Structure 1
Amino acid sequence: MSLRNLSLAAKTTIDGFMTGANKSAIKGTGMEFSQYRSYMPGDDLRWMDWKLYARSDRYYIRESESETNISIRLLVDASASMDHRDGDHTKMEYARYLAACLAWLANMQGDAVGLYMLREDGIFSLAARQGFQHLNRLFYQLEQAGPKGHFTQPIYYKDIYAGGQSRELLVFITDMYQQQDELYKLLDLLGALRHEIIVLHLMGRNELELDYTGYTTLEDLETGATIPINAGELKEAYSQRLAQYLDDTRKALLGRNVWYRLMITDEPVDQALRDFLQARVRS
């Protein structure tokens, strides 16, 4: 998808059902006036300065030093395992779309949103801010994302300390593929910084059901290693081991006070978001 299409897809998905769902939208006082800026489509009309409009016949928005109650940062796994394909799209494509929708929703509700792209060669960081220009920068970075190589090595996690000291709500979109607990090490660091963390675990339906009809080998997308398979003979044992893996993953994350949800990549993103947000409200 192009940047324009990603933006449009996110807007179309979110506009249909989530207006007003996020209770963090700012109301009332408690913010200090900073400056005016020209009105942009989608801006909250509550911050329109109608007196200035009456004098100038132009629309201006009052910006404040503190624009939001919540600072949200999206973490996107850009390793090669995210190139796993199920049907018409890869996990990476699903992750881009999901992250774009969450960013659009956060921006629509007045929340600042930022980004960590977790790449083999380090961590790209985009500070959390509000506004459509910033949102377009975030979409651009999503479009540039991998997937390639291994997951970010722990040596690069130090870059997270440079991201500021304020607490954030972190939404980590990943397939949870790891070789030496590197994802758990990252989550331990983020937890030590007192961030609230959500993990959205992406899996393909073909992974869950071992549906690889016609294939005789499987390849590890990060290491290149291959193994022969006979899906019919392996299915029962595979199902048992997969169930154990998912249960262990869920317990490991809950033990770290991380909110966890499994998302299947053949689910429409709007339905997956609705289920995710409803579950958050109930928890």
Structure 2
Amino acid sequence: MSRLLQPKTLLAIKDLSLAAKTVVAGFMSGIHASRLKGAGQEFSQYRSYQPGDDLRWLDWKMYARSDRYYIRESEMETSISVHFLVDASNSMLHEEAGITKMEYTRYLTASLGYLAHLQGDAAGLSVLHHAGLQTLLPRREAQHMARFYYQLEQIQPGGAFITPTAYRNLFTGPHTRQLLVFITDYYERNGEITTLLQTLAHSGHEVLVFHVIGEEECKGNFRGYDAVEDLETGELVMLEGGHNIDGYTKNTNEYINTLRTTLLNKGIHYRSLFLQEPLDKALRDFLNQRNKPR
């Protein structure tokens, strides 16, 4: 299927639910509880064929008896669209423990996309790239997932986070509520990422944010360096005098805690993930926590 799908990770998460925790496209809290007519397992009724219906569910015996096309309906659980938004700015090339933030993000997105597809949900992908927005609309077919994994593998980070004019297409088209999973290192200069997330949440979508960080990045161990370079702008930041590692770590932790609180207050779920954290463990811990009764 894809090199991004690691058996260890898939085995760890395959039995856990990614269902929306709020009402999303007819879903109630936590599970795919509501029922719709469709191509499920338990027979319910027949209905006349409509253009666009899946031909696999035509009942040929009914056609032979009546010379008319009928779809065999059954009760099935509703499904949702899970749309993955991937930050492809240049800071995602930061590397620790032999892996970049972008590569970690690829594995994370592929694993959650696989899980969504396994549950019968439509999976989509939007890459927020400096050159513009690249979008693969949510669909459920197996062939679509092959394109989904291929697009993930082809992402080439570059530049700064895209401007609002570049991602305005996220707010156009059918007004269907979705579960939006945003993966980012949350490097912003003027609140641009927070503004985007708030707009998405206000549009009625449920938003989950995975904040990918490196442990060394949080510690700020810059001994032996006179300056550090901004990966997105190329700007050099001079390190004048002694660098207080303890103070830097404390400020970083305070920033992350403030960010988490800010997003939760806006109805946006937040989870930080360290590059050094095994992905299978990180996802299982997250999904178990998410699916706990509240």
| Aligned-residue identity in percent | 40
Find the aligned partners of 2:34 and 2:91 in 1 and give their Cα distance. 46
- Equivalent residues in 2 for 1:147-162 (5 A)? 147-162=157-172
User: Which residue pairs with 2:123 in the alignment?
Assistant: 113
Q: Which string of whole-angstrom CA distances, capped at 9 and with x for unpartnered residues, describes residues 248-281 of structure 1?
A: 2112211211001111011111011111111212
Larger proportion of helix: 1
User: Which residue pairs with 2:11 in the alignment?
Assistant: 16
Change (3 A) 1:205 1:230: farther
Find the aligned partners of 2:212 and 2:237 in 1 and give their Cα distance. 22
Find the aligned partners of 1:281 and 1:107 in 2 and give their Cα distance. 18
> Please, what is the CA RMSD of the aligned residues?
2.8
Find the aligned partners of 1:13 and 1:244 in 2 and give their Cα distance. 33
Contact in 2 for aligned 1:114/1:138 (Cα 8 Å)? yes
> By how many angstroms is 1:5 displaced?
1.5
> By how many angstroms is 1:28 displaced?
9.6
Find the aligned partners of 2:194 and 2:33 in 1 and give their Cα distance. 37
User: Which residue pairs with 1:70 in the alignment?
Assistant: 80
> By how many angstroms is 1:18 displaced?
2.6
User: Which residue pairs with 1:176 in the alignment?
Assistant: 186
TM-score normalized by the length of structure 1: 0.81
5+ residue gaps, structure 2, are 20-30, 40-52, 62-71
Amino acid at match of 2:255: Y
Amino acid at match of 2:168: K
TM-score normalized by the length of structure 2: 0.78
- Give the match's secondary structure for 1:178: coil
Partner of residue 36 from structure 2, selected from 30, 33, 38 = 30
Find the aligned partners of 1:107 and 1:212 in 2 and give their Cα distance. 43
Contact in 1 for aligned 2:18/2:115 (Cα 8 Å)? no
Contact in 2 for aligned 1:81/1:222 (Cα 8 Å)? yes
5+ residue gaps, structure 1, are 38-46, 52-61
Amino acid at match of 2:290: R
Q: 2:263 aligned with 1:244, yes or no?
A: no
Q: Which string of whole-angstrom CA distances, capped at 9 and with x for unpartnered residues, describes residues 80-107 of structure 1?
A: 0111111211000000110000001111
